[in-house]
Structure 1
């Protein structure tokens, strides 16, 4: 949001129309603001992540965007509609709480979910079989849900979310409970959706998924969004770090290092100077430092999250992932 004008902007480098626009969303439960003034702008065809620990307000925000619950304050527009219920058949939603009928055959479960979004059962059955074949579950088409592994059942529910070919897919903690192999399959599926022009927004408390997948993110902590924008913008909140290894330990070249340079083992570490790396390189060469290696390491999204949301929120994220107390 532009603080001078009050206007809400999408990611500046992206000029696509917005699939989701929200401004000042507020939701209160029992006197506590679970969501406190959330602004979002998600371009069409983007993969967008909402990052935050459990209890930060991610699920409540998604449910307001979908029209499952209404905000107490604020404005939202989804696929051009002020009332998300008016475009519900163009949206696919995978809630955090998974649920399928155990006795249903897999492809029938997909068809049933499609029928809830207006897909004729015969069409849903055909698409269900095709989707399961496409995503490596052809051998399980006729199996009942109770006969599937947890990962396979979650994949079936996800395919049921996609069977009506939505333009917007909303996934609430989609990676939760999946092993590494199935997490990789899900990442590939999300990329494939975006390649076909589908907008994907998902919540997660695992930063690595957002770093690998997302063009844009919103960081949410305590119901507020301290950052919303491109992933590279978040990472740029922390200066790139220089790692330097020299043959000589002393000499006039040492004066070229920034005052906050620190030595760890054989390496020097310090923020990339505002003047860039070239003047430093020149001074090191002129000072006969004997450069053995020099690299510029950009901050990761985890470090950016810590800088933006704080150490406590980062600890909560790790606790959510490991199941340990924060």
Structure 2
């Protein structure tokens, strides 16, 4: 289990993280959400050792996180990080070999993963020749090819069409099923709500809510009623004290977008 406790970070007089504490459990997908500038990327970079914190601890399985532990991590930054002139398969094989796999094993792993991600016909194309969405898939493959114990993804669904989102979601769920602890940030709240097991909501550098998806729904649910009408029920929108969530049998539980709006106010 990855555990952050009391993480703080300041740039001059501006505190960007203030007592950030949460856990990422093995075998579970944890959605990390917050507005621009909330501190998500800074938090991830501290976990990865790319930034130092001013205070707090990051532990893995109850012990302080070390550089050797981080070799078992997978990371996908929001920015593109692959070599544009390299061929897709060549790039992922190279990264697998940096993690200690032999040439054949690395090739087999990279080929299988890229095929699962829908890039099986693009193995010999250069990274720069791919569409932005396919570059994103290749970058996800780069973070997964060594079967990391902890996977940290910064906006993994950015630029993906709905079909690609489903493909990537399936790959991440398979990784979690093997026991990986997965933390991913996203502004696509509908995807986070559908995919994640746990949620961490960050605003202004502080944790506003965290826990399982179902627990947060229960905690922030308000009284809701389903009304059945034989005619037009549009008049309900003008009734004082009544908020219409949806017509035609929409969801009866609060959406992640609604929970997010409530907890950051």
TM-score by length of 2: 0.88
Structure 1 residue matching 2:158: 3-state secondary structure? coil
- In the TM superposition, what are the counterparts of 1:32-111 in structure 2 within 5 Å? 32-111=14-93
How many aligned residue pairs are there?
258
- In the TM superposition, what are the counterparts of 1:274-289 in structure 2 within 5 Å? none
Conserved in 2, the CA contact under 8 Å of 1:244 and 1:294? no
* Distance in 1 separating the partners of 2:138 and 2:249: 48
| 2:256 corresponding residue in structure 1 | 301
Conserved in 2, the CA contact under 8 Å of 1:243 and 1:270? no
* Distance in 1 separating the partners of 2:100 and 2:75: 14
Gaps of 5+ in 2: none
* Distance in 2 separating the partners of 1:185 and 1:247: 41
Pair member with larger Rg: 1
Seen in structure 2, the aligned counterparts of structure 1 residues 210 and 145 have a Cα distance that, compared at 3 Å, is same
Seen in structure 2, the aligned counterparts of structure 1 residues 153 and 295 have a Cα distance that, compared at 3 Å, is closer
Conserved in 2, the CA contact under 8 Å of 1:35 and 1:57? yes
Q: Residue 173 of structure 1: CA displacement?
A: 0.9
* Distance in 2 separating the partners of 1:294 and 1:124: 50
| 2:115 corresponding residue in structure 1 | 133
| 2:225 corresponding residue in structure 1 | 242
**Two-structure CA RMSD over aligned residues (Å):** 2.6
Conserved in 2, the CA contact under 8 Å of 1:245 and 1:294? no
| 2:173 corresponding residue in structure 1 | 191
Structure 1 residue matching 2:18: 3-state secondary structure? strand
Seen in structure 2, the aligned counterparts of structure 1 residues 238 and 146 have a Cα distance that, compared at 3 Å, is same
Seen in structure 2, the aligned counterparts of structure 1 residues 104 and 81 have a Cα distance that, compared at 3 Å, is farther
Structure 2 residue matching 1:209: 3-state secondary structure? helix
Seen in structure 2, the aligned counterparts of structure 1 residues 240 and 107 have a Cα distance that, compared at 3 Å, is farther
